[in-house]
Structure 1
Amino acid sequence: MQDLFKTWTELVALAVEGAAALIIALAALEATVRALGLFLIRPSKPDMAKEGVRLRLARWLAVALEFALAADILRTAIAPGWDEIGKLAAIAALRTALNFFRKRQPSVALR
């Protein structure tokens, strides 16, 4: 029974990690399209619009980090080793830093 629980937990962690990768890929694609639009089609747009692209990407990266953190929490719950705990701490620190710097930016109206 315990092996079944470990197997299912690992599969859920893998799926959550896949969701994080998908979010990062889609966010990067969206940011690329928006940035190209600003730099190529409307280069006279104010810096605030360019900052909006950066902040929107940062928000999506923060969401992806939440998913990665969730996957690592699942893995740590079934096999708590120093390697897993270290990865969990690194992701939590990165997420906290990203949110801290994102919130310090002036608010920008995003479309």
Structure 2
Amino acid sequence: MIINTICIFLVSCGLIFFIGGAVGIIRFPDFYTRMHAAGKGDTCSMILILTGLSLYILHEPTTANFLVVGKILFIALFIMSTSPTSTHALIKAGFEEGIKMWKREDEKEGQE
């Protein structure tokens, strides 16, 4: 019963991070901040969801379940290494392409 509650909590937190990342992609003003929301939101949410799934599977400890959890942990490590790397590569490509960063209107007036 307690493990189920912990699993539900972890998966719910993961879904909240997904929703936050989606809102960030829609609401943020420029490419760089949108990529930040996408990278952080996806990585954190997938780790939380996969942790909740692993705990739920380990509720009944068998050899097959340990193998499944091992695969899930491998997927989590893969996501933790590739998501920040790909986000960095996309942001670097955008910077080299000359995509401008967003500035507030009051900051633009002060520079003129």
Cα shift at 1:52: 1.3
Structure with more contact order per residue of length (Cα contacts < 8 Å, sep ≥ 6): 1
Report the AA paired with residue 42 of structure 1: F
Paired residues of 1:72 and 1:88 also in contact (CA < 8 A) = no
Q: Does residue 86 of structure 1 match 2:76?
A: no
* Alpha-carbon distance in structure 2 between the residues aligned to 1:70 and 1:89: 10
Quote the residue 1:99 is aligned against: 77
Q: Does residue 25 of structure 1 match 2:12?
A: yes
Report the AA paired with residue 48 of structure 2: W
Query: What are the ranges of 5 or more consecutive residues in structure 1 without an aligned counterpart?
Result: 1-13, 77-84
Query: What are the ranges of 5 or more consecutive residues in structure 2 without an aligned counterpart?
Result: 88-112
1:25–1:50: structure 2 CA closer, same or farther, 3 Å change rule?
same
Cα shift at 1:45: 4.3
Cα shift at 1:44: 2.0
* Alpha-carbon distance in structure 2 between the residues aligned to 1:30 and 1:57: 5
Task: Report the secondary structure of 2:30's partner residue.
Answer: coil
Paired positions, count: 84
Quote the residue 2:56 is aligned against: 68
Quote the residue 1:56 is aligned against: 44
Deviations 1:17-75 (A, max 9, x none): 33112210222023203421331x224242233211111112212432442254233xx
Quote the residue 1:9 is aligned against: none
Percentage of pairs with the same residue: 10
Cα shift at 1:94: 1.9
Cα shift at 1:16: 0.9
Q: TM-score, normalised by structure 2?
A: 0.55
